[in-house]
């Protein structure tokens, strides 16, 4: 039974990073995090990203990035993310031209499988990050969209970056879904929410441990299913953002170390 590592996706602190990237990264490190997923940050050359991470004493273990740049110039993208230090790359959803039908979705699955095979050859790994919509169904298939994706791709070519909170919003038990694909889910996004929605019907995100997700079950499933990294994410916040970050790190440290 493996013990997942603790990381944070930098999308959580995207707003302060626009004005002060290095200062924001240092505050993430001061909160306790040593490992991060690059996402939502200023658009910079790979060398500058790596220098900023090094200056803050952080290491990027993963990145959110699109599929299309790899399809356009594979070698350049591999070189870019290797410079940053990343092994795992994960698109934040299906490509927009592959979403409107089952046939289009299957074309997207083929594109992801093809890219994942190429990344595997150079020692990198492709994962897929879900939102709630992937647990919906096309009219002509009884499976949810995410199951179609994983059943239509080689497990060695496409892995899972399960967003636990969006899975729950989509009506799925996150722990059960992790167990459904043992060994195929190296990364999970750990995100918490209140029971009630906001005025527009959207989830209200809160620090880890302050919401309704069953973390005891999720962490047990993560250990049993080979999850390598539990990556804290908080899409929005009330109050002081870095207090949320610090509180969430402490929750992870208490429950995973």
For domain 5-256, say whether CATH 2.60.120.1440 is its number. Answer: no
Q: What is the pLDDT of residues 132-141, one digit of tens each?
A: 999 999 999 9
Q: What is the DSSP letter of 161?
A: E
How do strand 192-197 and strand 203-206 relate by DSSP bridges? antiparallel
Q: What is the pLDDT of residues 100-134, one digit of tens each?
A: 999 999 999 999 999 999 999 999 999 999 999 99
Percent of the chain with pLDDT over 70: 100
Q: Taking 70 as the threshold, does the pLDDT of residue 199 lie above it?
A: yes
Residues ≥6 apart with Cβ < 8 Å to 158: 109, 112, 113, 116, 126, 127, 128, 149, 150
Q: What is the pLDDT of residues 31-75, one digit of tens each?
A: 999 999 999 999 999 999 999 999 999 999 999 999 999 999 999
d(CA 83, CA 80): 5
Question: Which pLDDT does position 76 carry in this prediction?
Answer: 98
Q: What is the pLDDT of residues 145-168, one digit of tens each?
A: 999 999 999 999 999 999 999 999
| pLDDT tier, 143 (very low <50, low <70, confident <90, very high otherwise) | very high
* Residues 215-230, mean pLDDT to the nearest whole number: 98
| pLDDT tier, 1 (very low <50, low <70, confident <90, very high otherwise) | low
For the beta carbon of residue 124, count every other beta carbon within 10 angstroms: 18
Question: Which pLDDT does position 32 carry in this prediction?
Answer: 98
Give the start-to-end residue ranges of the domains of the chain.
5-256
Question: Which pLDDT does position 100 carry in this prediction?
Answer: 96
* Residues 62-90, mean pLDDT to the nearest whole number: 97
Question: Which pLDDT does position 241 carry in this prediction?
Answer: 98
Question: Which pLDDT does position 63 carry in this prediction?
Answer: 98
């Amino acid at each position: 039974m493996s013990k997942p590592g603790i990381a944070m996706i930098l999308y959580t602190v995207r707003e302060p990073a626009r004005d002060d990237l290095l200062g924001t990264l240092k505050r993430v490190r001061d909160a306790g995090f040593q490992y991060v997923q690059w996402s939502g940050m200023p658009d910079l050359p790979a060398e500058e990203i790596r220098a900023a991470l090094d200056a803050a004493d952080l290491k990027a273990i993963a990145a959110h990035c699109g599929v299309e740049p790899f399809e356009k110039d594979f070698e350049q993208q591999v070189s870019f993310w290797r410079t940053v230090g990343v092994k795992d790359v994960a698109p934040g959803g299906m490509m927009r031209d592959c979403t409107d039908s089952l046939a289009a979705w299957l074309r997207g699955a083929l594109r992801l499988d093809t890219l994942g095979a190429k990344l595997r050859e150079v020692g990198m790994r492709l994962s897929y990050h879900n939102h709630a919509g992937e647990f919906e169904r096309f009219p002509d298939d009884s499976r949810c969209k995410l199951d179609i994706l994983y059943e239509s791709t080689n497990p060695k070519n496409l892995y899972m970056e399960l967003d636990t909170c969006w899975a729950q919003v989509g009506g799925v038990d996150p722990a059960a879904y992790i167990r459904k694909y043992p060994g195929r889910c190296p990364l999970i996004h750990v995100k918490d929410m209140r029971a009630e929605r906001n005025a527009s019907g959207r989830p209200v995100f809160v620090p880890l441990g302050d919401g309704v997700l069953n973390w005891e079950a999720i962490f047990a499933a993560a250990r049993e299913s080979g999850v390598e990294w539990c990556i804290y994410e908080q899409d929005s916040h009330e109050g002081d953002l870095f207090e949320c970050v610090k509180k969430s790190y402490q929750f992870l440290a208490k429950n995973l170390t």
